[in-house]
Each structure stands twice: as C-alpha cells, then as structure tokens.
Amino acid sequence: MVKQPVSVNGVVRWRDVGLAKEAHREKERKMVVLRHEIGDVLRDVRQRQGRTLREVSHSARVSLGYLSEVERGQKEASSELLSSICSALVVPLSLMLREVSDRVAVAEGVIIPDTVPQELSREFVSDIPDELPEDLSRGLASSRA
C-alpha cells in the first residue's frame, strides 16, 4: 500500500494510492473482441503449418493484404470468407470456431469442462462393454511385456 499526499483546500492529507486502482482493475474484465480472437487462431494455425500469408491467400482466393488484416483483427471477416480461409488451411470451420470459443471463455473467466456431459454419456453407456474382448486383452498384455 502506497500513501500519497493530497491537498484539499490547503490541507494536506495522506491517501492510500495503488491498492484501490488494482482492486478496480481486477473487477474490470477485458473486453473480448471476436475479430481479434478469430485472427489469432487463424494466424496460429497458419504458422503451425509453416505456411506463408501468400500461400494461404492464394489458396483461399483472398487478397494478401485483406488476409493480413483479418489475422491482425483489423477486419471483420464474413462467414463465407472464414469458410474459404479454413478450407485453404484444411481446417474445419467448426474446429476453428471451437478454438475461438474456448479462448473467449477463458478471457471471460468461464470454466470449460473437459469431460463429456452426463446426458451424452448416458446415451452411449450401453455401447461400452464391461470387459475387454479376449483378443484385445491379449494384445494389451503382450505389449506390456
């Protein structure tokens, strides 16, 4: 905690400074801009593939400058354009949007469960055998030896 002199009507008083600002910042949430998150994900995918902006823009039939602006979050891409870029990157649009959704959830402080919802797992419980088939059990046992 830091104290700072503050003059009010000629009277100097000491006030706590810094602590209130930090507490206020914690309460403020960073505004999430969707186009920034989309651009970050697209750039990450492209860079992981080791591809250049020029290669992807040519495959997606989008100008290099526009693709660059989309990746930097300066332009809001249409769904058609996003689909074209994802096709050029050979990544399903749904997976790209899932990654964006996860990043937004983290920024908002929402906890993302990494388990299958009970309603969905109940639907498939009857498909899961209680015991492993004999040939699979033997295969696992031999791989451990």
Mind listing the pLDDT tens digit for each residue in 76-132? 999 999 999 999 999 999 999 999 998 898 888 887 766 666 666 666 655 555 565
Phi-psi sector, 18: left (phi>0), alpha (psi -120 to 50), beta? left
Q: Which two tokens stand for residue 5?
A: 């002199």
Q: What is the chain's mean pLDDT, rounded?
A: 79
- Distance, CA of 45 to CA of 51 (rounded, Å): 9
Indicate the pTM of the whole model: 0.60
pLDDT at residue 108 in the model? 85
pLDDT at residue 109 in the model? 83
- Distance, CA of 88 to CA of 70 (rounded, Å): 15
Q: Tokens 């908002």: give the residue.
A: 108
